[in-house]
Amino acid sequence: MSERNFIACDLGAESGRVILGNLSGGKLTYEEIHRFPTGASRIGGSLRWNMLRIFEELKKGLRKVADTGKPLASVSVDSWGVDYVLFNAKQPMLMIPHHYRDSRTDKVYDAAIEKAGDEKIFSETGLQFMSINTLFQLVSELEENPELLEIADNFLNIADYVNYLFSGAVKEEQSNASTTQIYNPVTRDWSKELINVFGFPEKIFPEIVPSGTVIGKLLPEIQDETKLPEIDVVATCSHDTGAAVAAVPAEGEDWAYLSSGTWSLIGVELPSPLINADVRAHNFTNEGGFGGTTRFLKNIVGLWLLQESRRAWINDGNELDYATIMTMAEESEPFRSLIDPRDPRFVAPPNMPEAIASYCRESGQVAPETPGQIARCVLESLALLYHGTLGEIEKLTGRTINRLHIVGGGSQGKLLNQLAANATGRTVIAGPVEATAIGNILIQAIALGDLDSLGALRDVVKASFPIEKYEPLEQAKWQEAIERFENLKITQ
Q: Report residue 489's pLDDT band, with 50, 70 and 90 as the boundaries.
A: confident
Ordered alpha helix ranges (H), 316-434: 322-331, 352-362, 371-397, 414-424
Average pLDDT value for residue range 340-345: 95
pLDDT of residue 39: 85
pLDDT (0 to 100) of residue 348 = 86
Average pLDDT for residues 43-50, to the nearest whole number?
Answer: 95
Average pLDDT, integer, range 381-400: 98
Residue 217: count of CB within 10 angstroms of its CB:
18
CA atoms of 283 and 100, how far apart (whole Å): 19
CB 253 within 8 A of CB 394: no
Whether the predicted pLDDT of 2 surpasses 70: no
Asked whether the predicted pLDDT for residue 1 surpasses 60, the reply is no
- Check whether 357 has a pLDDT greater than 60: yes
Report the pLDDT value the prediction gives residue 491, as an integer from 0 to 100.
63
Mean pLDDT calculated for residue range 334-358: 96
User: Taking residues 111-119, what's their average pLDDT?
Assistant: 97
Residue 422's nearest CA partner among 483, 474, 485, 378 is 474
Helix axis angle, 109-116 to 118-125, nearest 10°:
80
Q: Which residues pair with 403 in a beta bridge?
A: 255, 427
One-letter amino acid for residue 14 of the chain:
E
**Residue tagged active-site, from 240, 278, 340, 452:** 240
Is a pLDDT exceeding 90 seen at residue 205? yes
Contact predicate 178/172, CB 8 Å: no
CB 51 within 8 A of CB 97: yes
Nearest Cα neighbor of 409 from 35, 22, 25 is 35
What dotted CATH number matches 4-240? 3.30.420.40
Is 450 among the residues known to form the active site? no
Decide: 21 and 441 in contact? Cβ < 8 Å: yes
Give phi and psi for 323, each to the nearest 5. Answer: -60, -40
Query: Cα(first)–Cα(last) distance of the chain, in Å?
Result: 64
Which three-class secondary structure state does DSSP give residue 310?
A: helix
Q: Give yes or no on whether 4-240 and 248-431+452-492 have one common fold.
A: yes
**β 403-407/4-11 pair status:** unpaired
Where exactly are the structural domains of the chain?
Answer: 4-240, 248-431+452-492
Q: Give the torsion sign (CA, 450, 452, 454, 460).
A: negative
18: β partners: 9, 34
Question: What letter would DSSP give residue 301?
Answer: E
**What's the mean pLDDT in 394-408?**
97
Q: Residues 285-316: pLDDT tens digits?
A: 999 999 999 999 998 889 999 999 999 999 99
Q: What is the DSSP string of 219-269?
A: -HHHHHHH---S-EEEE---BHHHHHHHT----SSSEEEEEESSEEEEEEE
Q: What is the pLDDT of residues 65-85, one digit of tens each?
A: 999 999 999 999 999 999 999
Look at residue 492 in the predicted model and tell me its pLDDT.
Answer: 46
Asked if the peptide bond before residue 341 counts as cis, ω within 30 degrees of 0, the response is no
**Close Cβ partners of 122 (under 8 Å, ≥ 6 residues apart):** 129, 275, 279, 280
The residues that bridge with 213 in the sheet, in sequence order, are 235
Topology (CATH) of 248-431+452-492: Nucleotidyltransferase; domain 5 (3.30.420)
Distance separating alpha carbons of residues 337 and 380, to the nearest angstrom: 9
